Amino acid sequence: MTKPDGAARPDEPEAVEFDERGVPLAVKGARFSATLTRDESNEDGGWTVVVPEVGQAAVADPGLADFEARRLLQRHLNLEWFAAEDLDVRLVDGSGSPLYVFNMLCNGPCEPDRVVALAAEPPAGSRFADFDGMPGLRCVRSGPSRLVAVAVLVAQLRDEYGIDADDLGFEKLWEWAGSRDAREQMIAQLLLVATHRARLLGLPTEELVGFVRAAMS
């Protein structure tokens, strides 16, 4: 018995449908979790990122975890790299809580004793780093969103250490490209700069909140 025209035969692979950019519709809109854990037995502080049922990769820098998770998914799903960048990949800890990896730079005036205190006992989920002579932190922080994770740390630095932080070290702010993680970092950078400068000018919080609500409506 012959199959109707257009029907898939047992020896034929299923047809894959793509969107206008060439991203497979089967993965578009799907969310993938990648568990990021620190190797406590490694003196160099290595990290491991695990994508369930896909694979795992060791990373020396947690900032590479998102990239490695996407590379694992790219190979597993047989995707082009631009399609892997479009995937919704979220880093989580061992309990499933969201994690956000970012740098926090303190490029304003910092009293030396406050920098020493920050280096000696940085906030949880952070380690002190020197960015070409500029004090800062390399962070792996939890929170309900990236913006909240960044904002909470900024407030903690100001209230507990007396240090203003207004830079995530994100470059090329004019480019809207890369992974979701990179684009979220860009948004956080722009908002952080805007709020810091608004504080310097004495603009009320309500004015900034109103601006964002009106602009996004």
pLDDT in tens, 75-111: 999 999 988 998 999 999 999 999 999 999 987 778 8
Q: Is residue 188 part of a domain?
A: yes
pLDDT of residue 65: 96
Amino acid at site 208: L
Helix ranges (H only) for 18-170 are 65-77, 81-85, 112-120, 146-156
Report whether pLDDT(178) > 90.
no
**77 and 135 both lie in a single domain:** no
pLDDT in tens, 5-45: 444 455 555 667 777 766 777 777 789 999 999 987 665 66
**86 and 108 both lie in a single domain:** no
**155 and 181 both lie in a single domain:** yes
Identify the domain containing residue 80 by its residue range: 31-92
**178 and 158 both lie in a single domain:** yes
**106 and 81 both lie in a single domain:** no
> If we measure between CA atoms, which residue out of 34, 35, 14 comes closest to residue 25?
14
Q: Which of 41, 60, 92 is the last residue of a domain?
A: 92
What is the spatial distance between Cα 159 and Cα 153, in angstroms, rounded to a whole number? 10
pLDDT of residue 4: 42
Q: Is residue 19 part of a domain?
A: no
pLDDT in tens, 121-156: 999 999 999 998 889 999 999 999 999 999 999 999
Q: Is residue 109 part of a domain?
A: yes
Q: Which of 65, 92, 119 is the last residue of a domain?
A: 92
The two beta strands, 31-38 and 88-92, are parallel
Q: For residue 124, count other CB atoms closer than 10 A to its CB.
A: 10
Q: Is residue 12 part of a domain?
A: no
Report whether pLDDT(183) > 70.
yes
Q: Cα separations (Å) of 64 from 49, 50, 101?
A: 9, 13, 9
Q: Which of 92, 112, 142 is the last residue of a domain?
A: 92
Residue pair 164/150 in contact by the 8 Å Cβ criterion:
no
**155 and 189 both lie in a single domain:** yes
Q: Is residue 10 part of a domain?
A: no
pLDDT in tens, 35-90: 999 987 665 669 999 999 999 999 999 999 999 999 999 999 999 998 899 899 99
Q: Is residue 8 part of a domain?
A: no
Domains identified in the chain, total number: 2
Q: What is the pTM of this model?
A: 0.81
pLDDT of residue 21: 66
Q: How many residues does the chain have?
A: 217
